[in-house]
Amino acid sequence: MSIMSPDARSDEELLHLTKSVLLDQDFHVETVRGRVDLILAENRYFVVAVAAVSTIQDLVLAEPVAFETLAQRIESAILGPKKWDTYLVLLTQEKSAEDDDVTRALYAINYDTTRLRRIAHTGVDPTREAISHALAPFVEPATSTTSDTQTNALSSLMRSLALHGANEELAQRAIAAFEQGATLDDVL
């Protein structure tokens, strides 16, 4: 098991925002303090552990430590099918450079699905929006306030055809024919 660098520290700002975002998504959330601090969250679909560290190097070093902590927790719990929907998310504010070694290390983390899935994000700004983006697989999308009449695909098609110079009468006949199950031959 790798040992964290002596000056490695958790990014408390990212962890605080993570906890807030997950609570807003109706996760049961707890903070697990250790060699790597984790936000451990569970809802009816997922078990998610999030570690946030200062640098990419710390992220790479934190992964096996955080993995082991999470693996021990899930082995001692009865998760049922959620055992297969357990994730370790690793975050850092440091932006990734075009460094082959860093790219390989991040690739190795993201594509290692041994016992649980891992997601490593670099360049995560300390904002709710950035955290929500990093946690997108676990965050319900915002519901649209657009009414059904505004999102009607055929009405949208009619507007688009008119904007692009199509004959309005012909376009209306084609859409009406489509709604009735007719063919374009019937329209022309």
Residue 87 covered by a domain: yes
User: Does position 89 have pLDDT exceeding 50, yes or no?
Assistant: yes
Asked if residue 54 has pLDDT above 70, the reply is yes
Same domain for 106 and 63: yes
90 and 179 together in one domain: no
Does residue 108 form part of some domain?
A: yes
H or E, element range at 28 = strand 28-32
For 54, the domain range is: 12-138
How many structural domains are present in the chain? 2
Same domain, 25 and 74: yes
Same domain, 171 and 125: no
Helix axes 153-163, 168-179, angle to 10 degrees: 160
In a domain, 143, yes or no: no
Judgement on whether residues 152 and 133 belong to the same structural domain of the protein? no
Does residue 26 form part of some domain? Answer: yes
More confident residue, 67 or 171: 67
Q: Kindly state whether residue 3 falls inside one of the protein's structural domains.
A: no
Say which residues have a Cβ less than 8 Å from residue 162's Cβ, sequence separation at least 6. 168, 171
Looking at the fold, whether 59 and 113 belong to one and the same domain comes out as yes
**pLDDT greater than 60 at residue 121:** yes
Q: Over range 137-157, report the average pLDDT.
A: 71
Percent of the chain clearing pLDDT 70 (strictly above): 85
Phi, psi of 100 (to 5 degrees): -60, -40
Tell me: do 105 and 46 sit in the same domain.
yes
Long-range contacts of 73-80 (CB under 8 A, 24+ apart): 73/32, 73/40, 73/49, 74/47, 74/116, 79/47
- Both 93 and 170 in one domain: the answer is no
- Residues with Cβ within 8 Å of 91's Cβ and at least 6 positions away in sequence, in order, are 11, 14, 18, 50, 51, 52, 53, 59, 121, 124, 131, 134
Same domain, 99 and 174: no
